[in-house]
Amino acid sequence: MQHFDYEYLIIGQGIGGTSVAWHLHDLGKSFQIVGDSSMPSSSRVAAGIFNPLTGKKLVKTWLADDLFPYARVFYGNLETKLGCKFMHVTPIYRPFRSIEEQNTYLAQTADPGISPYVANSPDPGEEMPYVNADFGGLEVVQSGWIDLPVLLDASRSYFQERHLYVEAAFGTDDLSRTDDGVEWQGKRFRTVIFCQGFFALENSWFNWLPFTPVKGQILEIATEAILKSYIINQGIFALPLTENRMKVGATYSWNPLDWEITDAATEELEAKLQGLLRTGYTLTGAQAGIRPSVRDRRPLIGIHPEFPNVSIFNGLGTKGVTLAPFLANAFCNHLIYGKELNPLVNIKRYFSLYFR
């Protein structure tokens, strides 16, 4: 009988790898996570906002009715287990840009698919004189943000204490594969799971997948106004961290794909911010990251077309905090019990790119 030191080797400890690890842990499976804290991570730059209604046309987020309840339970249970606070259930205020948009949005709220995510209470805009909302606005509920650095650090500490996390640089050349398992640093595993985010583009097992990574920059500001606990969303987001600190974002750019902050991105965000807020502020910081987005805007999850012990959980893009828990559950059930994945996320949809 084949001996394995661990059943699963998880490469990467962003929100994807961490979600997979927790689900395997809850299922009683053995695993080891490899993380490299010296490398940049999009999960640690991301604002971590979860928003059920997105876009200029007020569209319900894909699978929102499944994703949001699952995420709330998942993160709530983790807060209890880890003894720290990182889930902040916060309404989102969407100022109307015009009377026409006001009429359109209010008509849409009658849609039974939209209405559960819209507050019935009076417009809270009067409580926020620092917001430019001459036409009023819409309050989105069942929304908020996850403080990802707090979640990821607490999870890493938990796994480190149980010898389930290794701090190391990983290269695909360091991994050897046989028909019955994989080996890394002298240890044997049944299956490797790549959760590398943007760095999957350098992974020879999966670099044929159609990643379309996007660079984003966010700012941190200190405001003169005292802030209410509402995320403001109109073209950009303004996320209150404290009574006078906000994160603001985000930009989208495709060239160059690096982790450097730029004056151009800062100027773009500040121009939009000045149209959104009616308060003075001081710029206190900036960060940039690269989102692991995909051509069809759906995650890349599944088992390699040729090697059944090589798998991937990636491509979560801008909605990672809601997608990761729900899809990690589906992915683990796929690996362990053979349950079918949603074809819209299964990498089988791109096998033709591998075999061409």
Q: What is the DSSP string of 65-110?
A: HHHHHHHHHHHHHHHHHHT---EEE--EEEE-SSHHHHHHHHHHTT
Does residue 69 fall inside a structural domain?
Answer: no
Does residue 62 fall inside a structural domain?
Answer: no
Identify whether the C-beta of residue 115 lies closer than 8 Å to the C-beta of residue 183.
no
Residues 341 and 247 placed together within one structural domain of the fold = no
Q: Is the pLDDT of residue 99 over 70?
A: yes
Contacts with 351 (C-beta within 8 Å, 6 or more apart), sequence order: 305
Last residue of a domain, one of 256, 274, 291: 291
pLDDT of residue 56: 85
Element (H, E) at 328: helix 320-337
Once rounded to an integer, what is the mean pLDDT over residues 101-121? 93
Q: Which amino acid is at 261?
A: I
Identify whether the C-beta of residue 257 lies closer than 8 Å to the C-beta of residue 213.
yes
Once rounded to an integer, what is the mean pLDDT over residues 185-189? 96
pLDDT of residue 1: 47
Residues 221 and 255 placed together within one structural domain of the fold = yes
| Model confidence pLDDT, tens digit, residues 26-51 | 999 999 999 999 888 999 999 999 99
Q: Provide the CATH number for the domain around residue 339.
A: 3.50.50.60
Last residue of a domain, one of 239, 273, 291: 291
Q: Provide the CATH number for the domain around residue 233.
A: 3.30.9.10
* CA–CA distance, 272 with 250 (Å, rounded to integer): 10
pLDDT of residue 317: 87
Once rounded to an integer, what is the mean pLDDT over residues 308-324? 95
Which residue segment(s) compose the domain that 126 sits in? 91-142+214-291
Does residue 328 fall inside a structural domain?
Answer: yes
Does residue 120 fall inside a structural domain?
Answer: yes
Average pLDDT, the chain: 95
Q: State how many domains the chain has.
A: 2
Identify the DSSP state of 24.
H
Does residue 166 fall inside a structural domain?
Answer: yes
Q: What does the angle CA 133 – CA 274 – CA 105 come to, to the nearest 5 degrees?
A: 30
- Strand order of the β-sheet with 144-146 is 49-50, 144-146, 87-89
| Model confidence pLDDT, tens digit, residues 244-274 | 999 999 999 999 999 999 999 999 999 999 9
Residues 170 and 287 placed together within one structural domain of the fold = no
Q: Is the pLDDT of residue 296 over 60?
A: yes
Closest Cα partner for 14 from 32, 35, 38?
35
Element (H, E) at 223: strand 214-223
Q: 64-82 and 320-337 helices cross at what angle (nearest 10)? A: 90
- Name the residue with tokens 């899809």: 327
Closest Cα partner for 6 from 162, 189, 171?
189
pLDDT band of 323, cuts 50, 70, 90: very high
Contacts with 143 (C-beta within 8 Å, 6 or more apart), sequence order: 49, 50, 51, 52, 89, 90, 91, 92, 117, 231
Identify whether the C-beta of residue 286 lies closer than 8 Å to the C-beta of residue 294.
no
Instruction: Return the sign of the alpha-carbon dihedral for residues 72, 77, 78, 83.
Output: positive
Q: Is the pLDDT of residue 2 over 80?
A: no
Residues 278 and 176 placed together within one structural domain of the fold = no
Does residue 1 fall inside a structural domain?
Answer: no
* CA–CA distance, 26 with 84 (Å, rounded to integer): 19
Identify whether the C-beta of residue 54 lies closer than 8 Å to the C-beta of residue 308.
no
Residues 331 and 231 placed together within one structural domain of the fold = no
| Model confidence pLDDT, tens digit, residues 205-218 | 999 999 999 999 99
Instruction: Say if strands 92-95 and 231-234 run parallel, antiparallel, or are unpaired.
Output: parallel
Does residue 221 fall inside a structural domain?
Answer: yes
Does residue 76 fall inside a structural domain?
Answer: no
Last residue of a domain, one of 260, 291, 322: 291
pLDDT of residue 27: 97
